[in-house]
Amino acid sequence: MATLSSLGVGTGGIDTASMLTQIKAAEQTRLTPYTNLKSSYENKISAWGKISSALATLQGSVKKLSGEAFNTLKVSDNKTFTATATAEANADAHDVTVMQLAVSHKLRTAGYEDAAENLGETTGATRTITITQKNGKELKVELADDETSLNQMAKAINKQEGDVRASVQRTDEGYQLVLSSRTAGTDGEMSVSVEGDDTLGALLNTQEGGREADDETNGMIVVSEAQDAKLKVDGITYTRSSNNITDIIEGVTLNLKAVSENEKSEQLTLSIDNSAIKSTLQDFVKQYNALLTQTAASSKYVPNDASGLTDDEVAKPNKENGALMGDGTLRSMVGELRAAVNGVYGDNNSDYDALTSLGITFDAGTGQMTLSEKTLDEAIANDSDQIGLMFKDHAGNQGLASTLSDIITKYAGDEESKTDGIIKGTTNTLDEQVKLVKEQIDKTQKLIDAQVERYRVQFQNLDTTMSQLNSLSNQLISMLSSFNK
């Protein structure tokens, strides 16, 4: 379309460029209802997105209250081992004695002056090195005549990315090829055999864990023997291939660090960590209040300002209103959440059967929680088990945690179970509405552009005609002037 600058003030005195600008501005107002509707839909989508995020954060805190917060254990510090506990562990005490640490098998060759010198025969064929571990795993490498140096053998072994690692180390005795088992304990004990090269085989062939420095029966020398871990837990002896042990005490991982002196046991103590209960409840209150702050902002209502309007004029909705003002889904969700947190749970006649008994009070208008740390500390010290029963499912009844979790899942969905909530369906519908409005905006814009283009052509023609008429008028005036002379 030609630009407005192509039109000007014709000789007839008509400012067609200004007229066209005004017409285009008037035509563009036809888009206003559609752009307003599009903004409304997009604002609703954004508001639901923020609420979904707040719900997901609250869900994380709620899930901790269903078990983890009340099963978190403090683990004692010990000299010969460390321990970590999961939610499956129980508060208890155990006597642990570390009798022997697991050691990975390691072998080395004799020393050589040059790590790049080939040590095998020149046969014109390949030879195969096989490293077999006691657990049955094998690592095979094939080498050409020019690949039998310490460096080339280490490179070929590591290229397999197996359970054996090779390195070349420079020592006072020369360069040595070192093989290290990645499998701890006797399961990782290595044997080495070479096929197709007797010379290289004499240097590497090794059985029964290798040889001592003064023993010639095997090619490779023992750096560290394969050894299993041995320990006693509560008087019972256990042998394990690794120093990280997970299958003796339920929910507890033992990491053995040193052998106990004189086989003297240490006590592993697992005790309830009450600080986890407090910190989780504090986070729950924080996240719940954050959600209500978001829902309040999204549903905010500000009265229309009708000052200065005539009787015939209607006040427009206030721009400070929330994007979801009056939304029934949001109202229902907030109502369900507020009813849940004000409910009674746990054992009958318990001192701790509602959030108010833990020092949590509610604002009657906003629903926001306020937590008294002093009251909560006293409740935790008095009976943390009863507090746990308030949140956990118990005796066939839902606890507060699962009640809230069900409500959150209903509206926000759940990624683990791949469940879509009500909010997802609502925003999908809004997305479709945005697409339809965008299509209508595009269609209307094309109609506006076509209409403005028609006016432009008409004004251009009018401008040309007026110029021609003015030219003709000037000619007539000139002719009449000549007659009068």
Could you tell me if residue 24 is inside a domain?
A: yes
Could you tell me if residue 282 is inside a domain?
A: yes
φ/ψ of residue 194, rounded to 5: -120, 130
Whether residues 170 and 265 share a domain: the answer is: no
Whether residues 246 and 330 share a domain: the answer is: no
Q: d(Cα 338, Cα 348) in Å, to the nearest integer? A: 22
Whether residues 113 and 184 share a domain: the answer is: yes
Asked whether 204 and 108 are in contact (CB, 8 A), the reply is no
Whether residues 464 and 340 share a domain: the answer is: yes
Please report the pLDDT score of residue 305 as a whole number: 67
460 Cβ partners below 8 Å, 6+ apart? Answer: 2, 6, 7, 16
- In SS3 terms, 23-39 reads as HHHHHHHHHHHHHHHHH
Whether residues 218 and 233 share a domain: the answer is: no
Is residue 336 left, alpha or beta, with left meaning phi > 0 and alpha meaning psi from -120 to 50?
alpha
Asked whether 427 and 50 are in contact (CB, 8 A), the reply is no
Number of neighbouring beta carbons within 10 Å of residue 114: 12
Q: d(Cα 152, Cα 72) in Å, to the nearest integer? A: 51
Whether residues 466 and 361 share a domain: the answer is: yes
Could you tell me if residue 396 is inside a domain?
A: yes
Task: Select from 79, 82, 60, 78 the least CA-distant residue to 69.
Answer: 60
pLDDT tens digits along 414-471: 888 788 999 999 999 999 999 998 999 899 889 888 888 888 888 778 777 777 777 7
Could you tell me if residue 476 is inside a domain?
A: no
Whether residues 87 and 30 share a domain: the answer is: no
Please report the pLDDT score of residue 160 as a whole number: 93
Helix (H, G, I), strand (E, B) or coil at 116: coil
Could you tell me if residue 180 is inside a domain?
A: yes
Please report the pLDDT score of residue 37 as a whole number: 87
* Domain count for the chain: 3
- In SS3 terms, 166-198 reads as EEEEEECCEEEEEEEEEEECHHHCEEEEEECCH
Whether residues 391 and 333 share a domain: the answer is: yes
Q: d(Cα 56, Cα 129) in Å, to the nearest integer? A: 55
Could you tell me if residue 444 is inside a domain?
A: yes
Whether residues 383 and 454 share a domain: the answer is: yes
Cβ burial 219-253 (10 Å sphere, 16+ → b, else e)? bbbbbeebbbbbbbbeeeeeebbbbebeebbeebb
CATH number at residue 148: 3.30.70
DSSP letter for each residue of 273-313: -HHHHHHHHHHHHHHHHHHHHHHHHHT-------TT--TT-
Per-residue tokens: 271: 């005790």
Identify any residues that bridge with 414 across adjacent strands, giving them in sequence order: 419
- Please report, in tens digits, the pLDDT of each residue of the chain (485 residues total): 444 444 444 445 567 778 888 888 888 888 888 888 888 899 999 999 999 999 999 999 999 998 888 888 889 999 999 999 987 888 899 999 999 999 999 999 999 999 999 999 998 999 999 999 999 999 999 999 999 999 999 999 999 999 999 999 999 999 999 999 999 999 999 999 999 999 999 999 998 888 775 666 788 999 999 999 999 999 999 999 999 999 999 999 999 999 999 999 999 999 888 899 999 999 999 999 999 999 999 999 887 766 666 666 665 667 788 889 989 999 999 999 999 999 999 888 888 999 999 999 999 999 999 999 999 999 999 988 899 999 998 888 899 999 999 999 999 998 887 889 999 999 999 999 999 989 998 998 898 888 888 888 887 787 777 777 777 877 788 777 777 66
φ/ψ of residue 419, rounded to 5: -105, 130
132 Cβ partners below 8 Å, 6+ apart? Answer: 138, 139, 190, 191, 192, 193
Per-residue tokens: 211: 């040889």
Could you tell me if residue 449 is inside a domain?
A: yes
Per-residue tokens: 78: 């010990």
Q: d(Cα 448, Cα 380) in Å, to the nearest integer? A: 70
Q: CB burial class (10 A; 0-12, 13-18, 19+) of residue 15?
A: middle
Q: d(Cα 275, Cα 72) in Å, to the nearest integer? A: 9
Q: Which domain holds residue 189?
A: 104-224
Please report the pLDDT score of residue 5 as a whole number: 41
Q: CB burial class (10 A; 0-12, 13-18, 19+) of residue 400?
A: buried
Please report the pLDDT score of residue 30 as a whole number: 86
Q: How far, in Å, are 341, 378, 438 from residue 352 at the CA level?
A: 14, 11, 55
Could you tell me if residue 331 is inside a domain?
A: yes
Q: d(Cα 225, Cα 134) in Å, to the nearest integer? A: 13
Whether residues 330 and 450 share a domain: the answer is: yes
Which amino acid is present at 85?
Answer: A
Whether residues 345 and 426 share a domain: the answer is: yes
Whether residues 349 and 218 share a domain: the answer is: no
